[in-house]
Amino acid sequence: MSADNRQQQKTYYSNYGSGVIDVTAPGGDWYVRGPQRTPASGLILSTWPATLREDLPSQLITQDCQGTVCATYSYLQCTSMAAPHVTGVVALMISQYGSMSPGAVKAQLTQTAEPLDCSARTYNPVPQLLQYGLDFTATCLDGMGHNGFYGVGEVDALSAITK
């Protein structure tokens, strides 16, 4: 599994490789922000331990204290944010179809993913960091249908439960 950003492009931190990636899912990307242009707008909202609130900048932490206990959330990025997207799609599939073997789960995920093509064979998602000696250039092998950046494509929850 790999992670893509809100523009369905490989994130700078994501793993990749031909024959390595089956599917991709949203993982958030600090460098590709949403329309609000805030640091959090390109990231994924996730639960976060209240005891670690001081470990992240305050603009990336939010709390919901409407109940008797406050819930703490943080805006994050990583394949650790993409994995819950895939897990959620699998949970929806099982709720729709009942018990499924691991092979059936993988087949359903890959057959219903939205295909993504390598926009360029050589790709650097954050060229602005080259000036600091950080080079995230990667080479995407293969093309539409299955490639080293996205596998067969981005998981698609609706397609996975209606096909």
- Note whether residue 63 is domain-resident: no
Residue 97: CB partners within 8 Å, gap ≥ 6? 108, 161
- Note whether residue 54 is domain-resident: no
- Note whether residue 72 is domain-resident: no
- Note whether residue 90 is domain-resident: yes
62-105, pLDDT tens digit by residue? 999 998 988 999 999 999 999 999 999 999 999 999 999 999 99
Q: How many domains does the chain have?
A: 1
Encoded amino acid at 154, one letter = E
- Note whether residue 14 is domain-resident: yes
% pLDDT > 70, the chain: 99
Break the chain down into helix, strand, coil percent, rounded to 5.
35, 20, 45
Residue 60: CB partners within 8 Å, gap ≥ 6? 39, 40, 43, 74, 75, 76
152: containing domain: 2-29+77-162
Does the pTM surpass 0.85? The reply is yes
Q: Which range has the worst mean pLDDT, 9-18, 37-46, 64-73?
A: 37-46
Whether 134 has a pLDDT exceeding 90, the answer reads no
